[in-house]
Amino acid sequence: MPSEHPPHPALASLATAVPRHVLRQEDVREVGERLFHADFRDLDRMLAVYRNAGIERRYSCVPLDWYLNEHSFGERNALYIDNAVTLLQEAATESLDQAGLGPGDIDIIVVVSTSGIATPSLDALLMEAMPFRRDVMRLPIFGLGCAGGVVGLARAAAMARAHPGARVLYLCVELCGLTFRHLDRSKSNFIATALFGDGAAAAVISTDMDGAAMTHWGEHTWPQSLDIMGWNIVDDGFGVLFSRDIPAMVRQEFRRVTEDYLTGQAIGLDDIDAFLCHPGGAKVVAALEDALDLDPDALALSREVLRDYGNMSAATVLFVLARALDQETPGRCLLSSLGPGFSAGFLTLDAA
């Protein structure tokens, strides 16, 4: 008879990748000032966002001077496809090597990305670059935004649990810098220049491999919140949408939904050994600390990743997780992220 309690999927490996161009925050500030100098009366005050973002450098698939010129949506999306496949191949190869597997050992591929459009999807394109089996099951996911790192990982874990013994390759890539629209002189687009970076991650998940156990996952979508975060699809591409009210909403709402999620596991906040949160920005990290009443250093890894890579949308929390695993962070870890919907994603990882 089948077991009433199927084995937990295990995170057998996790690898990250970034493109080659390094953007120092002070250099980006100079470019931002050149681009927006005629658009805001209070630009001198707004330029403080570069200093207050908690970011020292980011990585980009194009050099900094590329942003000084106008580029069509078609040109930017072609760059997205080429660079996304390259970064996914790099991360996937390293993750497979860590797990002692080859592409032919993978049964399921799950890909999360929301910063470009690809049809055929990125997983199909990657199959032309790596020798995966032709019967591999594919699940491309678009639209999760910053929440995609955790929610996508949960979808991959659910696939692994539904197919015991299958080897699932979870992939995530976000090239947020390429969404910059030169003619958009809105405050949201200006703030995005101080936050967004590019990156990718890959993980192998299976019920019959060793690794940190992925024991639970869940999510919450708030009502009447569609205008808080996302893209406005316009003639020249993706118009960034995020509300200045996000930190306040996190302070007011996040603890309740987190406790509701943990209640389903018969545990509470005090039972969590490490909080691995998506660092959407310095203000959001501070709001998470306030909401959960955390010690000042509890989200140190999130702040470190924000400092070193910026906000890479869905991929960012996977960089936080990779850093935690490298440091052998022990015990029960709670991954969380926030994204369009407006939604929160959660995943509990037993790294003991």
Q: Could you give the CA distance from residue 125 to residue 115 in angstroms, rounded to a whole number?
A: 16
Instruction: Identify whether the C-beta of residue 166 lies closer than 8 Å to the C-beta of residue 105.
Output: no
Q: Say how far apart CA 296 and CA 317 lie, in whole Å.
A: 19
Decide the pairing of beta strands 168-175 and 108-112.
Answer: parallel
DSSP states along 133-162: -TT-EEEEE-S-GGGHHHHHHHHHHHHHHH
Catalytic residue among 61, 146, 176, 277: 146
Look up residue 314 and give its amino acid: A
Asked if 146 is an active-site residue, the reply is: yes
- Please provide residue 169's backbone torsions phi and psi, each rounded to the nearest 5 degrees: -100, 115
Q: Are 19 and 212 within 8 A, CB to CB?
A: no
Output the six-digit token pair for 37: 């100098």
Report yes or no: 173 and 185 within 8 Å, Cβ to Cβ: no
Residue in the block written with tokens 């929301």: 114
Distance (Å, whole) CA 173 – CA 114: 8
Directed axis angle between helix 300-309 and helix 282-292, to 10°?
A: 170
Rounded CA separation 337/351 (Å): 19
Residues 6+ apart with CB under 8 A from 296: 289
Task: Please give the positions annotated as active site.
Answer: 146
